[in-house]
A = this chain, B = another copy of it.
């Protein structure tokens, strides 16, 4: 079975021909040294995963044909991850982990104690694609534009519950009991939430504060830990 997995932009179905971009051709034929007749796995996040045969190679492109569907689309639970961007490597890491752990949407937010003024959305989206390629997923979570937390909370959907990680007394098991449905996880900045933000969150009917233990976790660790608690309680684990 082919090991290479490639995310494609165009809609896929059995028998479909796919033209490769220069970058995809470089990766498949230059880096992975694949040639005509060999097979890879492809997905586009909508119609599942397909076995595809290489029918044409070139320096600047190439052509694949989708032979057969190998897996149906497997959507993650309706879970958003909101986090305050931090240093570049750790932000990349959070996006990678969110995709691996099965978040449906990744939303970078600016809190009062967040330094990041901007993010490279396209670069973060590429990290999410790479993580999906690696983890065998058939879905790629969308990375949203950076938004201010206060505005995000002002427009918060009534039916979406929000788990936020705070030094709270509530154990995760109690907090995460009850129905599934739309949820989001908010990871605070490493400097913590401001008093205004904390009050705002505690006042929200949809919000649940969850403790992540007695040690202070970095934001990237907290993201994986919170996703684990949610997935094992309400998600698809």
Contact = CB atoms under 8 A, between A and B. Distances in A.
A232 B93 CA distance: 23
A221 interface: yes
B215 A100 contact: yes
Contacts of A144: none
A221 to B, nearest CB: 5
A74 B135 contact: no
A172 B232 contact: yes
Interface string A200-237: 00000000000111111110010011011101100111
A148 interface: no
Contacts of A136: 215-216
A74 B213 CA distance: 12
Nearest to A176: B232
Looking at A134, A215, A236, which has the most chain B CB atoms within 10 Å of its CB?
A: A215
A101 interface: yes
Contacts of A232: 171-173, 229
A97 interface: yes
A102 B225 contact: no
A90 to B, nearest CB: 10
Interface string A175-215: 00000000000000000000000000000000000011111
A45 interface: no
A222 to B, nearest CB: 9
A108 interface: no
A190 to B, nearest CB: 10
Contact of A100 (B101, B137, B218, B229): B218
Contacts of A214: 74, 102, 236-237
A172 B216 contact: no
Nearest to A173: B232
A215 B97 contact: no
Nearest to A223: B224
Interface of A: 74, 93, 97, 100-102, 134-137, 171-173, 211-218, 221, 224-225, 227-229, 231-232, 235-237
14 contacts: A100-B218, A101-B225, A102-B213, A102-B215, A134-B216, A135-B216, A135-B218, A171-B232, A172-B237, A213-B236, A214-B236, A214-B237, A221-B224, A224-B228
